[in-house]
């Protein structure tokens, strides 16, 4: 249904969903057009620079091409975000692992890193829950990061993050290793649309029960409804007519199916949690080394940098890009 269709104006939930989808598509088209226009402008400028032998114009072309390269990488990253929920906002849970106070401080540093990352991308961040550490930092927190493709990007951060540094909490200035886990899951529309196939229903009618007397319904107005695929059974006899009881029973059935869908979703989430690795040595996806040398290395892709401060200030795009591209490569069929 189009947003221009007046029939949807009275349905705010559907309108909001369409507006969100429209914003994502407009952003994608706009970014491609910007990239294409800059590339065309650079070509024209290059031709002019060559004809005129203008060194200054040639240097300007180099700057434009550097911008085009950056935009191209962003477009390449979005190309791999093809999952059903990749365009959604995301919840991000951070939990301190082995390492005591040092680990709690590390979890706090990660929370700051992701908040900086979100700020760089124009995302809105809300701290939904946070538990302070006993000495410093946090034991755990849950963030809601709202914006286009927040989940698509930050799902790359799922796993254990390891820190090696001289602890500021150690009076003997010894080197410590700490761990914290990160887990992202997509924010989904809680308005689950339940559709019931009439072929999946078995409907029986029966006479309403009551205390007797003139108000007892003498017709088969009560309805019992069976949902054959799930075995759910509902019945209604409170309304005066069979049509009303049937409508109420169908509403009851949809509510029961909704609950079943929620249970299914929670079970899937529990299974995802069950496969998460222990927050300890040997299970890390990325290491952040601050002593005796400076390095951040992702063990899944081998991408690394010695610009630790930049990473801790939210410069995560190179790591996210490397991981998402690797997942596409792994998923590609072999000849």
**Is there a single domain that holds both residue 126 and residue 255?**
no
**Is there a single domain that holds both residue 179 and residue 310?**
yes
Structural domain range at position 304: 90-190+279-331
Least confident piece of the model among 33-42, 125-134, 322-331: 322-331
Summary mean pLDDT of the chain: 81
**Is there a single domain that holds both residue 118 and residue 69?**
no
In the chain, what is the straight-line distance between the N-terminal and C-terminal CA atoms, in Å? 40
CATH of the domain at 155: 3.30.70.1660
pLDDT of residue 212: 44
Question: Which pLDDT band, with edges at 50, 70 and 90, does 334 fall under?
Answer: very low
SS3 of residue 277 by DSSP:
coil
pLDDT of residue 227: 93
Question: 254 versus 16: which is more confidently predicted?
Answer: 254
CATH of the domain at 256: 3.30.160.20
**Is there a single domain that holds both residue 308 and residue 173?**
yes
Q: In this predicted model, what pLDDT tens digit does every residue of 102-151 receive, in sequence order?
A: 999 999 999 999 999 999 999 999 988 888 998 889 999 999 999 988 99
Q: In this predicted model, what pLDDT tens digit does every residue of 310-322 receive, in sequence order?
A: 999 999 999 998 9
In angstroms, how far is CA 273 from the centroid of its own chain? 15
Helices (H), 138-218: 150-154
**Is there a single domain that holds both residue 289 and residue 319?**
yes
Domain count of the fold of the chain: 3
Q: Is residue 139 part of a domain?
A: yes
pLDDT of residue 281: 54
**Half-sphere exposure for 168 (CA within 13 Å, toward CB):** 8
Once rounded to an integer, what is the mean pLDDT over residues 82-91? 83
Angle at 323 between CA 314 and CA 327, to 5 degrees: 150
């Amino acid at each position: 249904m189009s947003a221009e269709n007046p029939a949807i104006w009275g349905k705010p939930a559907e309108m909001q969903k369409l507006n969100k989808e429209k914003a994502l598509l407009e952003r994608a088209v706009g970014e491609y057009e910007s990239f294409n226009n800059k590339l065309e402008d650079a070509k024209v400028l290059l031709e002019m620079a060559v004809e005129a032998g203008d060194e200054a114009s040639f240097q300007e072309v180099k700057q434009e091409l550097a911008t085009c390269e950056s935009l191209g990488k962003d477009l390449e990253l979005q190309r791999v975000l093809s999952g059903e929920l990749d365009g959604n906002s995301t919840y991000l849970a951070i939990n301190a692992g082995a390492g005591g106070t040092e680990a709690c401080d590390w979890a706090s540093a990660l929370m700051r890193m992701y908040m900086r990352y979100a700020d760089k991308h124009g995302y809105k961040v809300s701290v939904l829950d946070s538990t302070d550490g006993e000495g410093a930092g946090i034991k755990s927190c849950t963030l809601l990061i709202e914006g286009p493709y927040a989940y698509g990007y930050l799902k790359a951060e799922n796993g254990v993050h390891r820190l090696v540094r001289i602890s500021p909490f150690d009076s003997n200035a010894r080197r410590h290793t700490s761990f914290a886990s990160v887990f992202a899951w997509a924010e989904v529309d809680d308005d689950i649309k339940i559709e019931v196939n009439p072929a999946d229903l078995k409907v029986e009618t029966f006479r309403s029960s009551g205390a007797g007397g003139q108000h007892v319904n003498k017709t088969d107005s009560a309805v019992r409804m069976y949902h054959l695929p799930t075995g759910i059974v509902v019945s209604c006899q409170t309304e005066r007519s069979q049509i009303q009881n049937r409508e109420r029973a169908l509403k009851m059935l949809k509510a029961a199916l909704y609950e079943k869908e929620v249970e299914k979703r929670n079970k899937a989430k529990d299974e995802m949690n069950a496969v998460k690795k222990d927050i300890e040595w040997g299970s890390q996806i990325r290491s952040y080394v601050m002593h005796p040398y400076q390095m951040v290395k992702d063990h899944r892709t081998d991408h690394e940098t010695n610009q630790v401060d930049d990473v801790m200030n939210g410069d995560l795009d190179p790591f996210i890009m490397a991981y998402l591209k690797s997942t596409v490569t792994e998923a590609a069929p072999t000849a």
